[in-house]
Amino acid sequence: MRLGAPIAALAAVAFALAAPASSAPERLARNGLIAYTNEVHAAELYLANADGSGLTRLTDDEAPSRWPSLSPDGAKVAFASNREGAWNVYVENVDGSGLKNVSADAQLPFGFDGYPDWSPDGTKLAFTANAGQGGLDVVVYEFRTGVLKVVTGGRADDIRPRWSPDGTKIAYAQGDETGFHVCVVNADGSGFRQLTNAQGWQFEPTWSPDGTKIAYTTWPNQTSDIFVMNADGSGAHDITNTPRAQDTQASWSSAGIAFRSTRDGVDGVYVMQADGSDVRRFSAKGEFEGDPNWSRDGRRLVFMSGREARSSIAVSAPDDTQFRQLTNGPWFDSDPSWAPNGRRLAFTRNTARTVSDIYVMSSVGSSLRNLTRRRGLSWSPAWSPDGKRIAFVHFEGFGAQIWVMNANGTKKRPLTSTGSWNVHPTWSPDGKRVAYAGTRGGEDDVYVLDLRTHRERRVTRNAESPSWSPDGRWIAFSGYGPDSIATDVCKVRPDGSGRTQVTHSASDNRSPSWSPDGTSIVYEQDQFWGHDTDIWYVSANGGPERQAVSFNWPQFTPSWQPLR
């Protein structure tokens, strides 16, 4: 569950290079291994007919690929991927042949390149790039000459460009201290105009087929909707109006507007008429999909899908060495948790959309055992300090509660009953209390439950993913500090005092876990531009933030091995 509404006004791009993990103090080596979730094939590209038939997979890479765009003749697809260690723009034939790294050919510096869009005549590609001018810019690459032109420039971030149907203009979103606004510029860089002025975000523009209107994403309340305005910025109105769902990523063609939505609980691609009527789900129910983009004739749709996604449990040292993959198969493994002696790992395995159980295995991946095998969903295991019990989250019928069981799976019983959603359990070092994130009145807060008195106490507000320090003096969590522009790793004392911001990032930091000696915190960082999650660590007192695991596929839910 994510905290808060969309973040307005981003600071510097979080892809800036951090100090290498190998420069960390020698004490990190004594802290052993970090277990984490590896996710592969989480964002592959697919092509299908407008009615959903004729599904074809376009990419097959462990690193994610996003933001596909079909060439006007339908023979090629442009997209972005971080398969080479940074987000670059690529072009390939729809049969998978002829892969071309456009970013490399254009000799762009290291950074973020993405959101490609073909010119109507198919000779150029507009995209967002780090062109070395202080911010992200809209650039145009001409295939015939190999010349790259910076269209926008300046220190603002200019993202997600889209050509007008006649090829004379480019719409895009520009970020400043108040948020993002939809802007238009001539294809040669002249004639800049800002079309939206409301506070917050207005971005992801897309032109109507006749070029007279622009659809875009904005947040009229706490959730996003698709708006449509005239091409001069007048007449803006909401065409989706879904206060309980996020509607984003519109793409307009003669066949209607395709967009991404959470209205069925899982992000999927939908199609509607230009006035917002006749909404239908294009994605299969339950499939995670997004980034829709029409072919020019509206007959085919290219999109990102996680239908082939898999996740596994892996371990690595904090300096990215000693990598071992412990699980591998047609399932989703996540939430690894080390036993206090470091010899076993508990984790969550999803074998189907409605099956989620707690498993235990040895630290080398052997002796696998399912501990729950019951109705409902179970996840997020946490060992007690003496290794005799495991707390976990259980969902059955309605709501999620913290449960506990013996380490062999016997004597399961609930610990919480207050509120409808209690997750992320973590034990105090003395085993007498359990902290967790609870939702009360729509707000995520951290609570502590005294197992002797069974009294619950709120420790801090607007927080999630708590993790108790080995010495018992602090609880780390994901939340906001005084200068946060995204969720940061923070810490608070168990009595609720001393709330302190530990990280200072332009990207969301979540799922903190302490090093066994209590001097460092490992966490997952979701890079804003590419939505690519990596494992980072920081001193428990703050300071330089360093990447611990740097593979090109996403990693989640780290857990640091106990000292033996």
Of the candidates 399, 405, 348, the one whose C-alpha atom is nearest the C-alpha of residue 378 is 348
- Let me know if 391 is exposed, middle or buried by CB neighbors in 10 A (0-12, 13-18, 19+): buried
* Bridge partners, 373 (sequence order): none
- Residue-wise pLDDT for 487-543, tens only, equals 999 999 999 999 999 999 888 999 999 999 999 999 999 877 767 788 999 999 999
Q: Alpha-carbon distance 361 to 544, whole Å? A: 34
Residues sharing a CB contact under 8 Å with residue 499, sequence separation 6 or more, in sequence order:
460, 481, 490, 491, 492
Which residues, given as ranges, of the chain have pLDDT below 50?
1-29
Q: What is the CA radius of gyration of the chain?
A: 24
Question: How many CA atoms does the CB half-sphere of 292 hold within 13 Å?
Answer: 35
Question: How many CA atoms does the CB half-sphere of 312 hold within 13 Å?
Answer: 15
Provide the residue type at 98 as one letter.
G
Structure tokens at 354: 């409605």
Helices (H) and strands (E) in the chain, counts: 2, 48
Identify the pLDDT of residue 10.
Answer: 28
Q: Alpha-carbon distance 178 to 156, whole Å? A: 12
Q: What is the DSSP letter of 416?
A: -
Global pTM?
0.81
Greatest CA separation for the chain: 75
- What 3-state DSSP class applies to 105? helix
Structure tokens at 21: 């993990």
Residue 436 and residue 475 in contact, taking contact as beta carbons nearer than 8 Å: no
